[in-house]
Structure formats: structure tokens, C-alpha cells
Amino acid sequence: MNAKTQFDPREFRNALGTFTTGVTIITASAPDGTPVGITANSFNSVSLDPPMVLWSLAKSSRNLEAFETSEYWAVHILSAEQEALSNRFAKSGDDKFSGVDIDLGLGGVPLLNGCCTRMQCKTSFMYEGGDHIIFVGEVIEFDHQPVAPLVFQAGKYAVATRKSATLSMAPGADVDSSFSEDFIGYLLARAHFQFYSQIRQHALSYGLNDTEYFFLSVLSVKDGRSLEKLNSLFSYTGFEANEQVLQGLRDKGFVRLDGTTCYLTEVGRDSTLRIIAAAKALEADVLDRFGYWETVSLKNLLKQLIIQTDPGLAHPWDDGTEAK
């Protein structure tokens, strides 16, 4: 068959890239016992009974002969932590295994560690597939562990994030209205208020309202700041402390004043740290239910949103004298 493509090969690659995959490294042992391996995302499942999988190898691969002659090969489904390993096995070279911790599997096939899944396979069929050879193998042994997988999407590495459960809407609510359950302002506000309401309870137990708690937590990041500076650092909350708030905190023994500069007293520091510790425990509890990579993604996206919407505010850990 000599079908000529009617379309741009780059566009075709881009189109294929819209199919999101995991990333594997397939390994084998060359006839002289040299370990060989290649990064591949053409892996797929074929059959459950018998258990079979497939992948395809470019005919241009330096390892074509090794894979064609090896009776066994192993598929390693990479974890999100193994991006560097994926890059290493995606380049032609002789030193792919140098410094890599391996075990030996069936037929002396090198087995990598730290993957989501390892499958040791025996070649069942090899097919010509254009400029690739398709390997179909029977899975003889496998092991797996519950770690986050590495994902490949549109030519880039990614992490898998589960879709959130849909919030139930009030009966008759208009899903298409601009203030729907998908409105990011609503989602952020709701997440914030629900999360913060629990921290507020801790602050209240120390006799601190929202403004006072924000004031003290900013002061706990860096002591010895003026009322004006402190206000500038938490102005994004919409709360503002005035002289009266300051006097109140001093009367309750949380701060002392040196002219216009505020300092935390021992009681003030201890109380603030205890509330922050409770907030951290709450965070750990909530994020525990997310899993590591979803937590990283969530924090990363929130940081990006903060940067994108930042009108130039100072941060609590900045000196507070100048805007970012």
C-alpha cells in the first residue's frame, strides 16, 4: 500500500496529540545482554483473557533489532515523579541506564523501579504498521502501586486531576446564567468562606475577630510594622484596622506599641501561632482527601490566578513599603 498523505504531517501529529495518554518506558535485553529501553506513549491494552498489550516502535529506532529479537520486554507505566526518566529514555544514546536502579526480569529484561505499573510481556505478534512495528505481547507478570501517573497531552507532560463532583443546584436554577455553579468567582468565594469559617472559630476562641486576626497574622510574619504598613498588607481582604482596633489589641495584651510601630507580645505571638497551627491542620485534613498531585495543581492554579489578578499589592513577607 502506498497511500500518500493529503495533509500536513505536523497537523497530523498535533491531532494525535489531542489524545491524552500516559507515558511508558519499554525495556528489553539485546542479544549480547545489553539493556535497551525507549519512552513510548503508543502503549495500549488489547485483551483481558489472555492478558495482552501492544505498543509500536519506530523503524528508525536504534533498538529495533533488540526489540525484534528479544523474546520478552517490559512495559513501565511512569509515575508523575518520573519525567526526567522519560526524557532520558526519549533520546537515542548508549547511556540510558547509567545510574538507574534496575532489577532483572524474565529473559534478563531490565526492570525500572518507582513506576505506577510494570508488566513483563512475551512477544505474541509483530506487525508492520507504516513506519512503525507494532508489538503485541502477552502479560506474564505485573505489579503496580497507587502512585500518580505521568500524563502526556498535546506534546507536553501533565498530571492527572480528577473532575470535581458537580455541586447540586437549587431546583429550577438556570445553569446557563452567568452566576452559575461554574462561575469562578462563586467557586473561589464559596471555597474560601467555607474553609475560612473554621479558622474563624479558632480566632474567636482567642477573642479575635477577622480584622484582629488578619492584623496579628501579618504581624507574625514580620514584627515591628506600622498600622499603615500592616493595613496595606491585608488590604486585599477588604478589612482595615484603625486606631481603635490597635488600642483594643493592646488592651487585650496581644500587641505593644513603640510610637507608631506595633510589636507582638509573647501572648500575641503564641495565640497567633496556635491559630495558624490549627489552620494548617485544617488544610492538611482537607488536602489529604485530594492527594498529592491534585494539591500541587490546586496551589499552582491559585498562585497563577493571584498573579493574574494582582493589582500590584505587597505581600505579607515583603517589607510592605513597596508594591510588587
Ligand X SMILES: Cc1cc2nc3c(=O)[nH]c(=O)nc-3n(C[C@H](O)[C@H](O)[C@H](O)COP(=O)(O)O)c2cc1C
- Which residues form the interface with ligand X (CB under 6 A)? 23, 38-42, 55-58, 61-63, 89-92, 152
Phi, psi for residue 74 in degrees, rounded to 5:
-125, 135
- Measured from the CB of residue 118, what is the shortest distance to ligand X in angstroms? 17
Least separation in angstroms between residue 21's CB and ligand X is: 8
Minimum distance of ligand X from residue 87's CB (angstroms):
7
Least distance from ligand X to the Cβ atom of residue 65, Å = 11
The secondary element (H helix, E strand) that includes residue 57 is strand 52-58
User: Whose Cβ is closer to ligand X: residue 128's or residue 266's?
Assistant: 128
Question: How many contiguous H segments (helices) and E segments (strands) does the chain have?
Answer: 9, 15
- Give the shortest CB-14-to-ligand X separation in angstroms: 14
- Residue 26, C-alpha cell as written in the block: 519499554
Q: What angle do CA 36, 40, 42 make, to 5 degrees?
A: 135
Report the C-alpha gap between 65 and 75 in whole angstroms.
18
| Shortest Cβ 52–ligand X spacing (Å) | 17
- What are the cell numbers at 234? 491585608
CB of 67: closest distance to ligand X in angstroms?
9
Q: Which is nearer to ligand X, 21 or 209 (CB)?
A: 21
Nearer to ligand X, 127 or 193 (CB): 127
**Shortest distance (Å) from residue 127 CB to ligand X:** 14
Q: What is the DSSP string of 142-173?
A: EEE---PBEEEETTEEEE--PPPPPPPPPTT-
Closer residue to ligand X, CB minimum distance, 89 or 214: 89
Q: Indicate the residue among 35 and 248 with the shorter CB distance to ligand X.
A: 35
DSSP string, 236-282: GGT----HHHHHHHHHTTSEEEETTEEEE-HHHHHHHHHHHHHHHHH
Q: What angle in degrees, to the nearest 10, is found between the helix axes of 184-205 and 210-221?
A: 90
Q: 260, 227 in Cβ contact below 8 A? A: yes
Strand partners for 57: 133
CB of 296 to ligand X, least distance (A): 20
- By the 10 Å C-beta count (0-12 exposed, 13-18 middle, 19+ buried), 296 is classed as middle
The one-letter amino acid code at 117 reads: T
**109-147 b/e (C-beta count within 10 Å ≥ 16 → b):** bbbbeebbbbbbbebeeeeeeeebbebbbbbeeeeeeeb
CB-nearer residue toward ligand X: 92 or 205: 92
